[in-house]
Amino acid sequence: MKPSEMWSRTTRYIVFFLMLGGFLWFMWLIQELIAPLVIAGLLAFVLNPMVSYVNRFSKLPRQWVVALVYILIIGTLAVLTVTFAPVAVEQAQGLTAELQIVQDELILSLNQQADNFDLEIDFDQFGEDLETLFGSSLSTDQIFRFLQATSQNLVWILIILVSTFYLLLDWHRLREWLIDLAPTPYRSDARRLYGQIKETWQAYLWGQIILMFIIGILSGLGSAAVGLSSTAVALGLLAGLLDIIPSAGPAVAMAIATAVAWFQGPPDYINLSNFWFAMLLLAIFTAIQTIENIWLRPRIMGHSLKMHPGVVFVAVMGALAIGGILVALVIIPTIGTLSILGYYFRARIFGLDPWSDHHMQAAVEMVQYEDTADSPPTPPRLNNHLLELEEEEAQTNP
């Protein structure tokens, strides 16, 4: 059979832009489905090493292993829920009561300050508005909307669970399909890039999960140690859950804990005013965050996420403002992924070997020279390395 003619450049460009436009239109249609699929992908990515490990050593079919892991995880969550739910509910009720006291004390203080400055402002009305907003009786329409939202959330949860199951089941096939999309001469590069990106995401996600447990336990123990026994578990859970959002989450947990300590006051055996008791709890939470950032995070996540704290803070705050919590959750490993891809494309553009540590060291030395002088000379090691590259190119291409 006679081979078909090659497409012209114009035809290729037209087909490419039509496919790109169709892809963007399709993504716009399923935009509400993107967040559940991203969550399913993250869950599958976290659970895939466990599934692969069990599958490798048990010799069981992968679908059995995935089902077994699902059963174990759901069973563990059920046991933890039955065990700790009563305590968590009691602590949450205590925290809610404390926050109500905080609101009442704050309104009272604001009213006193308004009277001192002869201002005719009734802050009690703000409290009544909040109670009306959150505590009014539910109408039939509100109940219907609540049931509708609940059923919709159950559908999203079902989509996440089913998508995670099939992603775990066919993860290796999906990986090979993505790698095979690259041209044949560059598939080894695609496999290496996948390995580096995989290490970055695993270091972040698993490290973040471990840090959440540690920070939750330390925050709960610290709160209980200074006498906040009625809300220690709730504050620990709150600090652990919010730690999933770098920078912003710990700050919110710290502010809530400080406010609760301020208005609840110290126990009888601690001779401090409310202000200094709040400062004590603030110091405890600050110390926990300092230990996490300086000692725990580098050792748990390793050196795969080398980012300046300022970059992390700006990235997380911008992600929260633009895309919400889900974007803030994945922004740090996404920046790490873009850094890996950027280094690879930079090396390819300048004709360098992207897998050679010499180029990385030469770039580091160049940055060091730029930091120490306004117009630095070419570093000797970098200069020698470039000469070696030129000599090798001359020998291979005489």
Within a domain: 356: no
> For residues 220 and 286, is the Cβ–Cβ distance under 8 A?
no
What is the rounded average pLDDT of the residues 262-269? 81
Within a domain: 322: no
Give the chain's mean pLDDT: 76
Within a domain: 352: no
Whole-number Å distance between alpha carbons of 48 and 205: 12
Within a domain: 98: yes
Non-local CB neighbours of 236 within 8 Å, separated by 6+ positions: 216, 217, 218, 219, 220, 221, 223
pLDDT at position 253, please?
86
pLDDT at position 301, please?
67
Q: Provide the domain limits for residue 177.
A: 31-115+139-181
Within a domain: 45: yes
What is the rounded average pLDDT of the residues 195-210? 84
Neighbours of 329 (CB within 10 A): 24
Q: Please report the DSSP string for 277-317 in residue order.
A: HHHHHHHHHHHHHHHIIIIIHHHHHTTS----HHHHHHHHH
Residue scoring higher pLDDT (78 or 115): 78
> For residues 216 and 91, is the Cβ–Cβ distance under 8 A?
no
Whole-number Å distance between alpha carbons of 154 and 198: 30
Whole-number Å distance between alpha carbons of 231 and 237: 10
Is the confidence at residue 102, as pLDDT, over 70?
no
Is the confidence at residue 336, as pLDDT, over 90?
no
Within a domain: 285: no
What is the rounded average pLDDT of the residues 193-221? 87
**pLDDT band at 317; cut points 50, 70, 90:** confident
Tens digits of residue pLDDT in 220-250: 899 888 888 778 888 888 888 888 877 678 8
Within a domain: 37: yes
Count structural domains, the chain: 1
SS (H, E, C) 6-51: CCCHHHHHHHHHHHHHHHHHHHHHCHHHHHHHHHHHHHHHHHHHHH
Radius of gyration of the chain (CA): 28
Of the listed ranges 46-60, 162-176, 371-385, the one predicted with least confidence: 371-385
CA atoms within 13 A on the CB side of 162: 6
pLDDT at position 387, please?
47
pLDDT at position 285, please?
92
Whole-number Å distance between alpha carbons of 377 and 275: 57
Tens digits of residue pLDDT in 122-178: 555 555 555 554 444 444 555 556 555 656 677 888 888 888 888 888 888 888 888
Within a domain: 92: yes
Is the confidence at residue 22, as pLDDT, over 90?
yes
Of the listed ranges 79-83, 160-164, 388-392, the one predicted with least confidence: 388-392
Of the listed ranges 44-48, 51-55, 110-114, 160-164, the one predicted with least confidence: 110-114
Residue scoring higher pLDDT (57 or 301): 57
pLDDT at position 329, please?
79
Residue scoring higher pLDDT (80 or 369): 80
pLDDT at position 121, please?
59
Residue scoring higher pLDDT (296 or 123): 296
What is the rounded average pLDDT of the residues 100-118? 69
What is the rounded average pLDDT of the residues 12-33? 90
Tens digits of residue pLDDT in 64-73: 888 888 888 8
pLDDT at position 217, please?
92
Is the confidence at residue 181, as pLDDT, over 90?
no
